Amino acid sequence: MFSSAHLPDSHVDLLATARAKQYGTILADPPWQFQNRTGKVAPEHKRLNRYGTMTLDEICALPVCDIAADPSHLYLWVPNALLPEGLQVMNAWGFRYISNIVWHKVRKDGGSDGRGVGFYFRNVTELLLFGVRGKNARTLSPGRSQVNMIQTRKREHSRKPDEQYEVIEACSWGPRLEMFSRGARKGWDVWGNQADESYRPTWDTYSYNSAIAAE
């Protein structure tokens, strides 16, 4: 995902990636830091050490406002438990919340995948918040008939469904930037410390993963 060890460098690097470009669409999957880090589900927990995380202030401070066009769209992944923080980040980046897309994680047979985590309910969904900046920021015409749900099998920890790209590319204009990306994608600029390499998980993962899904 991303390391916040050199946060000032991340500001410079993000602006350098943009090269003064103003993006019509930004997709971001920040490495959120959970407040309850005693449980084994937190990505930065010492028993897992899956990837580095960033504090809420660090995420909010990223200079997204400087690279977002007017008008533009933001798609922001946020865990269910951090919905208020997601809305705070969206506001800090200069976008106003409009709606969301729900990712329903399903098993091979189509039923809900109950391996999700949660201290109160077993989570089988994640939210992709949708926000806009500026006037005349409606989605493109395919968005008027696009339902706000994606139903797919989950893969590695924190890996988001590839189906998101088809939805975003149909509903939102370019140029497009993916922040905290895992590998390159045609037609997108990418930013993050895994953006220029083929994604390979460095931890134990489910038997159904990206390599299997690509076969």
Rounded CA-CA distance 69/22 in Å is 5
As a whole-number percent, the residues of the chain with pLDDT over 90 amount to: 63
Specify the pLDDT at position 8.
Answer: 64
Least confident of 30-39, 58-67, 105-114, 164-173: 30-39
Q: Binning pLDDT at 50, 70 and 90, where does residue 202 land?
A: low
Rounded CA-CA distance 1/35 in Å is 19
pLDDT digits (tens, 9 = 90+) for 122-146: 899 999 999 999 999 999 999 999 9
Rounded CA-CA distance 9/174 in Å is 26
Three-class SS string for 103-160?
Answer: EEEECCCCCECCCCCCCCCCCCEEEEEEEEECCCCCCCHHHHCCCCEEEECCCCCCCC
Sort strands 68-78 and 23-28 into parallel, antiparallel or unpaired.
Answer: parallel
- pTM for this one? 0.84
